[in-house]
Structure 1
């Protein structure tokens, strides 16, 4: 009999995982405690923007004409417990308010709700990013609360999704990591991921602590690489060097590589910032805090980039104050191909300038609704052209393809002054300068 899969928590990770599991041929039941979210997903709509996700959802959600019918959603824990052979827990683990540590309450609540209903052998698979040591504690909790006892087994299978590429990353992962304590758990997960394994995706089997550490280690490495090139940008500015050429040169070294070497206003989003902080907090609890003190500087460099962009903008409009100055901000999301504005450097910069008296107008291709909810006092425009009208300076802060393809001449007709600050080093300086713009970027010569 084919495995039946449940996905608990239908946010960004869970909705993507549920749709992908249906695409791989499984019968899938997704659960969320928010009825409005379940109604939306059951209609084949997603509560976030992720390329390709809505299409794959409509392809499989039961009740939609022409769908496979393999995917359903519910708010019933009883239905989930009865249905599933493998239960994926995909709930959120945000940063605690006022602390670096991770908030485990959503994960713990999911386990406490599911476990007492498990009356036959099942595999519960954690996908949420959690502090190392959580899996062992949750495995004991699961066996204690489940009527089937140790028949309710735990595995940990961290996710490595990139926003904007999440569907592909789930269907064709560059690696599958599973923390397991038995051959049965490994066998079940090999069955779940038989499709990607047949394509050649590496399958890495570890213990619980290592599986938990893989995700936080990967994010810490990426954050370090981004902050490294941003630190080099600071040095380049002081020495009148060019960080773009520097990155190109060191990127040819295969030991370093070219990816994540674009200097700019830094990283944001719902993963990297909170994950490295939670990692530091957990290392402290384990008595290994000195091992991760470098991450404090990684975080500090990252946050410093936002303040530096504000200073560059102030300098561009006269150097003393933003009062009475019109500032256009192109970009609200933390990265392109997403509507996610969580800890967005672009919105943070826009908000700082607004608080200092600037008249800020923002445009983003997909993040406008979320930005308005987070920063309702900022100005918003329906197009990039509308955003820059009368602007004393234009800030390019999210590297959407749409912005790279803008016509500098057409924008130049609308602005008050042709000054653009490229916070992502993604525009072509020669093209913009050729259209009469003053072009500045972080870590690059002024001309």
Structure 2
């Protein structure tokens, strides 16, 4: 009999995972406690922008003409427990308010709500990013509170989704990591992921603590690499060096690699900043805080980049106050191919300049509505051209392809002054300079 899969939590991770499981041929039932979200998903609409996700969803949601009907949604925990053989927990684990630590309340609530309905053998699979040690605690809770007792098993299967590539990362993951305690759990997860494994995705079997540590370790390493090149950009500015050439030179070293060595205003989003902070907090709880003290400096370098971009903008405007100066900001999301503005460096820089008296106008291809909800007092334009109109300085803060393909000459015709600051080191500096712009980027010589 084919496995039936449930997905608890239908946000970014859950909606993607549910649609991907249906694409792999499983019958899937998704659950959420927010009626509006369920209604939207039942219509085949996603609550966020993610390339390819809505098309994938519509291909499988029951009731949509031409769909396979393999994917349904509910708010009924009893229906979920009766339906599923494998239950994926995909709820959010945000940073606790006023603390570095992770808020486990959504995960705990999901497990507590599901447990009473597990009357027969079932596998509950955590995908949320949690502090190490959580799986041990949750496994014990399941065994005690599920009617099935020890037959209600737990496994941990961390997610590695990149916003903008989530569908691809789920259907063709670069690795699948499972923390299990029994051969049965491993067998079930091998069945779930049989297709990507056959297509070459490595399948790594480990224990609970290692599986929990993989995601936070990977994010911490990535954050370290990004902040390292940003620290080098500071040194380049102090010495007259060129961080882009520096990154190119060290990137040829196979031990280092070229990815994520582009200096700029730093990382943001809903995962990387909060994950490294939660990692530090958990290390402190375990008495191993000295092992991760370097992450405090990584976080500090990252946050410092935003203030440095504000000061660089001030310098280009003559060094005085922002009052009366018009600033065009290209980008609001924390990265391209997403509408996510959570902890966005771009929006943070725009907000700081606005609070210091600048007249800021923002344009982003997908993040405008979310940006308005956080910073309603900023100005917003319907296009890059309109954002730049009358501006004394242009800030490129999110590396959308649309911005890389802009015509500097056309923009120069509407700008008050031809001054551009590339906060992502992604624009063609020479093309902008040929069009008469004064071009600056972090860690690179100005002109």
The TM-score range, normalised by the shorter chain, is over 0.9
Q: What pairs with 1:224-239 in structure 2 (closer than 5 Å)? A: 224-239=224-239
Q: Match of 1:287?
A: 287
Alpha-carbon distance in structure 2 between the residues aligned to 1:429 and 1:105? 47
Q: Match of 1:170?
A: 170
Alpha-carbon distance in structure 1 between the residues aligned to 2:4 and 2:80? 10
- Cα displacement string for residues 382-408 of structure 1 (whole angstroms, at most 9, x for unaligned residues): 000010110010000000000000000
Two-structure CA RMSD over aligned residues (Å): 0.4
SS in 1 for 2:259: coil
Segments of 4+ moved more than 3 angstroms: none
Q: Match of 1:351?
A: 351
- Cα displacement string for residues 143-189 of structure 1 (whole angstroms, at most 9, x for unaligned residues): 11101111100000000000000000000000000000000000000
CA shift for structure 1 position 317: 1.3
- Cα displacement string for residues 118-162 of structure 1 (whole angstroms, at most 9, x for unaligned residues): 100000000000000000000001111101111100000000000
Q: What pairs with 1:249-398 in structure 2 (closer than 5 Å)? A: 249-398=249-398
SS in 2 for 1:5: strand
Verify: 1:202 aligned to 2:182, yes or no: no
CA shift for structure 1 position 445: 0.6
Verify: 1:408 aligned to 2:408, yes or no: yes
Alpha-carbon distance in structure 1 between the residues aligned to 2:325 and 2:78? 58
Alpha-carbon distance in structure 2 between the residues aligned to 1:178 and 1:38? 29
CA shift for structure 1 position 13: 0.2
CA shift for structure 1 position 76: 0.8
Verify: 1:58 aligned to 2:58, yes or no: yes
Q: Match of 1:16?
A: 16
CA shift for structure 1 position 324: 0.6
CA shift for structure 1 position 58: 0.4
SS in 2 for 1:195: helix
SS in 2 for 1:399: coil
Q: Match of 1:186?
A: 186
Verify: 1:119 aligned to 2:127, yes or no: no
Alpha-carbon distance in structure 2 between the residues aligned to 1:63 and 1:378? 41
SS in 1 for 2:421: strand
What stretches of structure 2 of length at least 5 have no aligned partner? none
SS in 2 for 1:60: coil
TM-score, normalising length: structure 2: 1.00
TM-score, normalising length: structure 1: 1.00
CA shift for structure 1 position 335: 0.2
How many residues align? The count is 447
SS in 2 for 1:88: strand
CA shift for structure 1 position 117: 1.0
- Cα displacement string for residues 186-237 of structure 1 (whole angstroms, at most 9, x for unaligned residues): 0000000000000011000000000000000000000000000000000001
